[in-house]
Amino acid sequence: MLHILKWKDRKNEILCYLPADAVPDKNAVAELHQMIALEETLERLTGVSGYFQGDEPQIKKMVLTPDFHKGAGIPIGTVMMTKGFVVPQAMGNDINCGMRFYTTDLSEESIRQKLPELAKKLRHIFFEGGRQIPMTGRQREALFRYGLEGLLETYHDSGMRGLWRYYQPEVQEKWLSRTVFRGSIQTAATEGLEDFIGSYGQLTYDDQIGTIGGGNHFLEVQRIVEIYDGQTANAWNLKKGAVAVMLHTGSLTIGHHSGLLNRKICQEIYPVGLMQPENKIYPIPEAYEKQNAWNRFWSASGNAANFGFANRLFLGFMIQEVFTQVLGACDLALLYDAPHNYIWKQQIDGEDYYIHRKGACCARGCEEMAGTAFAYYGEPVMIPGSMGSSSYLLRGLGKRDALCSASHGAGRQKSRGDAIKGNDEAFRQFMKNFHVITPIDPNRIDLKGRADILKKWEESVRAEAPYAYKDIHEVIAVHTAHNLAAPVARMEPIFTVKS
């Protein structure tokens, strides 16, 4: 269903794609209107000499994806195209939060037979210090400044210790073409990251790389249960009954650091004495007089985005390590890696625009993907459901009215607080049929008397249970009905790893 939301009293309208018979959540809409007050800030700043250059700054278009719901200042599922400025908050603090998808040569039966052993190994490597990812300061700086291409240049610093034994340079070079931006955003600086980078030539460990993070982030092992588009599925190596790996995470504390730095940059350049934005949302202008701020913003954002790409890469190595230890050598082949929290610079009719996505996937079509492995199919779009429900792979159709965008998930219909109070019977049935691996094993004998620990564990799982989210099938139906993206395959979970 396509809702048209009025954009203040102007001709501009917001296209809102929602499931049939749904109405936009009033709290999310209220947050959206608060965000649009950014236009009032732009009007005030336009009167400040030299703040903007060239034409008057504009919010050119806004689109809301089918999983649109309340966020923190700016709703999740918001896509905004601007001219002459960017808005850091419109990509959020978890910069380059995104999805990564692997096909495998594993069988579901072999995984289910070894689930207890797999769960033990997974808990160790993901939550109990089992990661072995040494890096030199030179590698970390190369990662922050040049992304996955930086790692390709410096991987030998690691001596192939720990998880680096899964790093095959010829494979990684090939996979760059299956990663948005090649996983490599060149930046000029690493502001505020000196301590994290550490000693230039010394191998050390950190507690960030290879981390899932909290909230709705996950790593899920799935079985492909339905194929809708055989030709595309064949090209993408998707087979009914096969096992796949989908993971969702971002830049963690590095993104938080960059987000805070970006907000500081915004406030530093805001004219003294001018009325402050009531919604606390600030733009950064593309202007010669503010060139330093503009460059600092792109470097800080690029540092975090590069880290997000590397984080997902190493999470893939971690699941490969567990599979290898328990099931023997296996093949994980990357289909695609894409962010859904970032700002894309795009040229349209000779003009530069900035497309902000917060919780929204790219869904570019064949024309936009020309020159890539996806030129004949469209961009892979990964849309997970809630924990325990179906997830989908689609191919982008390049719908320009929707700014070539799609959902990044099912979207919440209950807040975490409300979900914790959810139906007890529904929760028990969910846990009976679903395998979730968390830092806490509720079946441990020494935890049987720890009601306080078990209560917190249960609340964290309840907050992400299926009844907290919209129906994923209805969300996918909207994409089909409005030609945003076309379904290729549907997956169901075998098990999920969550913090």
Q: What is the mean pLDDT of residues 105-132?
A: 95
Amino acid letter, 34:
Q
pLDDT reported for residue 143: 98
Burial class (CB in 10 A: 0-12, 13-18, 19+), 84: buried
Q: Name which of 341-350, 421-430, 463-472 the model is least confident about.
A: 421-430
> Which candidate, 433, 423, 419, places its Cα nearest to that of 468?
419
Tokens of 68: 């649109």
Please check whether residue 370 is in contact with residue 345, taking contact to mean a CB–CB distance below 8 angstroms.
no
Amino acid letter, 337:
D
**What are the pLDDT digits (tens) for 8-47?**
656 678 888 988 767 778 889 899 999 999 999 999 999 9
**What are the pLDDT digits (tens) for 249-262?**
999 999 999 999 99
Buried b (16+ CB within 10 A) or exposed e, 428-453: eebbeebbbbbebeeeeeeeeeeeee
For each of the domains in the chain, give its residue range(s) and CATH number, in order of start. Answer: 2-413+469-497 (3.90.1860.10)
If you count them, how many residues does the chain have?
A: 499
pLDDT reported for residue 147: 98
**What are the pLDDT digits (tens) for 221-248?**
999 999 999 999 999 999 999 999 999 9
Please provide the average confidence, as pLDDT, over all residues in the chain.
91
**What are the pLDDT digits (tens) for 392-412?**
999 999 999 999 999 999 876
pTM equals 0.94
Burial class (CB in 10 A: 0-12, 13-18, 19+), 454: middle
Please check whether residue 16 is in contact with residue 4, taking contact to mean a CB–CB distance below 8 angstroms.
yes
Q: State the pLDDT confidence band at 84, using cuts at 50, 70 and 90.
A: very high
β-strands 98-104, 243-249 pairing: antiparallel
pLDDT reported for residue 460: 73
Burial class (CB in 10 A: 0-12, 13-18, 19+), 345: exposed
pLDDT reported for residue 295: 96
**What are the pLDDT digits (tens) for 462-498?**
776 666 677 899 999 999 999 999 999 999 999 999 9
pLDDT reported for residue 285: 95
> Is residue 204 predicted with pLDDT exceeding 80?
yes
> Is residue 414 predicted with pLDDT exceeding 70?
no
> Is residue 430 predicted with pLDDT exceeding 90?
no
- Quote the percentage of the chain above a pLDDT of 70: 89
Q: What is the mean pLDDT of residues 205-209?
A: 93
Half-sphere exposure of 204 (CA within 13 A, CB side): 15
Q: Coil, strand or helix: which one is 253? A: helix
Spatial CB neighbours of 64, under 8 Å, sequence gap ≥ 6: 5, 14, 15, 16, 17, 18, 24, 32, 75, 77, 78, 79
